[in-house]
Amino acid sequence: MRSLFRNISTLAGIVPAGVLRKQGAEMGQVGTLHDAWLLEEDGLTASFGTSSDTLPDADNVIDCEGGMLMPAFCDSHTHIVYAGCRDGEFIDKINGLSYAEIAARGGGILNSADLLHNTSEDELYRQAAERVDEMISKGTGAIEIKSGYGLNPEGEMKMLRVIDRIRQFSPAVVRSTFLGAHAVGRGYTHEGYVDEVCRMMPEASALADFVDVFCEEGFFTPADAARIMEAGKACGLLPKIHANQLHVSGGVQVGVEHGALSVDHLEETGPAEIEVLRGSGTMPTMLPGSSFFLRAPYGKAREFIEAGLGVALASDYNPGSSPSGDMRFVMALGCIRMRLTPEQAFNAVTLNGAYAMGISDSAGSITVGKRADFILTRPGWTLTKIPYLYQTPFIRSVFLLGQEYGTNN
């Protein structure tokens, strides 16, 4: 089956095969072709060119009517499997309590764990699938999803099974992360819970791709993180880490030392963190939706890029610190609050997001042989307008593996 996308004003996000991430000055460059066509075959990009070429034959022709065609967003950090919501804490935050204060009172992540324990697996799946649907219709084609609201073997496995079910039924790419070490589960001592997380690893690794740890004061120390990441690696899981969200914690250093694919959050970093990331395979991943919602500092993305590093941006979609999976808003925050150029923000939410979930050899750019996961914009849109006119509907349709998914944008 071959579909021809014709009348594309700009084909944006063209990357040569083999380029798996962008760093430093490359972050400001987006490969484009104007007045273009693209041929999709069996779910993958088969070829593309400009309208001066002879157009290839196809079974199906999609007239893009002067819209822009770009890769779907790759959201490399989410917690979208959760039960209910935490709107009570929203009011607490308005009244002045901080994220850490709510957590210290037994709310926060533990609140979500209580809700999850009282929710059936089918209902949990139903709620999460609705969020996935919403994210796809807003342009996301690949999603990393973490466990971490189970906080005991039964709850964590329940979450990993729900993520696996999403992986099987969703047209989006889904990667699964075991985040048993998100908070110490009720009824455990700190040490006892770290032991429990390590004991869960073999069973979790049958369903997950990655292991993650919330390395933060009041949660898990760099030493805990090192132990848990090594236990994950022994079971074939690739490490990721929540680092430097609320404090300079040593989380970035321990993540890089243990070969983390990404270090995420990074609201609180200095020159030492930049230095340790240089030359590593680890993708710094910033979550501006969480900074926005918690009124926290934004990661210093520009400094990272000026130091030659790459940066990915992700939504962190979760009920406590970022209740939105809108990657276009993430891109806008990247530009407005972090002063990234639209091109830098674009690379951060596409190719570099794909790298941060280990799929940039098959997704995240317009490349022959990669998945045909696209956003087709309405006519007249440019890359700059997407974050600039940050609330105006811009998507005409989302395509995953070449199949039209639609939008509610």
Task: Please state at what angle helix 342-349 crosses helix 327-336, rounded to 10 degrees.
Answer: 140
Residue number with CB closer to ligand NIG (27 or 103): 103
Q: What are residue 74's DSSP bridge partners?
A: 142
Residue number with CB closer to Fe ion (148 or 358): 148
Residue number with CB closer to ligand NIG (48 or 214): 214
Partner interacting with residue 319 (select from Fe ion, ligand NIG, none; CB below 5-8 Å by kind):
ligand NIG
* Shortest distance in whole angstroms from residue 242 CB to Fe ion: 5
Residue number with CB closer to Fe ion (316 or 343): 316
Residue number with CB closer to ligand NIG (64 or 314): 314
* Shortest distance in whole angstroms from residue 50 CB to Fe ion: 42
Q: At 354, list the tokens.
A: 């794909």
User: x-or-dash pattern for Fe ion, window 281-320, by CB under 5 A?
Assistant: -----------------------------------x----
Identify whether the C-beta of residue 192 lies closer than 8 Å to the C-beta of residue 161.
no
* Shortest distance in whole angstroms from residue 84 CB to ligand NIG: 12
Q: What are phi and psi of 9, to 5 degrees?
A: -65, -50
Partner interacting with residue 360 (select from ligand NIG, Fe ion, none; CB below 5-8 Å by kind):
none
DSSP 298-326: PP-HHHHHHTT---EE----BTTTB----
- In whole angstroms, what is the distance from residue 217 CA to residue 190 CA? 13
- Residues in contact with ligand NIG by CB under 6 A are 79, 108-109, 112, 214, 242, 245, 290, 316, 318-321
* Shortest distance in whole angstroms from residue 386 CB to ligand NIG: 25
Partner interacting with residue 158 (select from ligand NIG, Fe ion, none; CB below 5-8 Å by kind):
none
Q: What are phi and psi of 120, to 5 degrees?
A: -70, 160
Partner interacting with residue 348 (select from Fe ion, ligand NIG, none; CB below 5-8 Å by kind):
none
Partner interacting with residue 321 (select from Fe ion, ligand NIG, none; CB below 5-8 Å by kind):
ligand NIG
* Shortest distance in whole angstroms from residue 278 CB to Fe ion: 24
* Three-point CA angle 402, 403, 406, nearest 5°: 120
Residue number with CB closer to ligand NIG (115 or 389): 115
Identify whether the C-beta of residue 239 lies closer than 8 Å to the C-beta of residue 229.
yes
- In whole angstroms, what is the distance from residue 300 CA to residue 281 CA? 19
Residue number with CB closer to ligand NIG (253 or 318): 318
Question: By rule CB under 5 A, what count of residues binds Fe ion?
Answer: 1
Helix (H) or strand (E) holding 121: helix 121-137
Identify whether the C-beta of residue 152 lies closer than 8 Å to the C-beta of residue 185.
yes
């934004």: which residue's tokens? Answer: 298
* Shortest distance in whole angstroms from residue 58 CB to Fe ion: 42
- Which residue sits closest to ligand NIG, CB atoms considered? 320
**Helix ranges, 49-108 (H):** 87-94, 99-104
Pairing relationship of beta strands 73-75 and 44-50 according to DSSP bridges: unpaired
- In whole angstroms, what is the distance from residue 150 CA to residue 82 CA? 9
- Which residue sits closest to Fe ion, CB atoms considered? 316
Binding site for Fe ion (CB under 5 A): 316
